[in-house]
């Protein structure tokens, strides 16, 4: 395990990779859920909310990643009628 400023990456390869890079927010979430990431108790007492509120700009980036692409694209096409209904609903 390698302690970073406000977090701990539990996988050495990931710790090495993100040592000089900011972690995409999507990856941070996935790594946390997969138990490969944890908050450093020495920073804000390990409080996730406080760390993200006060320190996120030190280690997080908000760029779209390949992991997000399937969520950002449609796998089917809409008929013109469906598009109009969606537009009417949004408007």
Domain-wise residue ranges, the chain: 2-90
At 81, list the tokens: 């009628």
Q: What is the pLDDT of residue 66?
A: 74
**Cα–Cα dist 35/25, whole Å:** 15
Q: What is the pLDDT of residue 48?
A: 92
pLDDT in tens, 44-72: 999 999 999 999 888 899 887 777 666 55
Question: Would you place residue 10 in the very low, low, confident or very high pLDDT band (cuts 50, 70, 90)?
Answer: very high
Q: What is the pLDDT of residue 37?
A: 92
Q: What is the pLDDT of residue 13?
A: 93
Q: Are strands 7-9 and 37-39 parallel, antiparallel or unpaired?
A: antiparallel
């Amino acid at each position: 395990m390698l302690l970073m400023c406000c977090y701990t990456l539990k996988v050495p390869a990931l710790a090495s990779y993100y040592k000089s890079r900011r972690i995409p927010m999507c990856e941070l979430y996935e790594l946390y859920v997969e138990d490969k990431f944890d908050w450093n108790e020495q920073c804000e007492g390990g409080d996730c909310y406080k760390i993200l509120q006060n320190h996120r700009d030190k280690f997080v980036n908000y760029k779209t990643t390949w992991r997000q692409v399937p969520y950002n694209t449609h796998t089917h096409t809409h008929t013109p009628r469906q598009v109009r209904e969606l537009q009417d609903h949004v408007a």
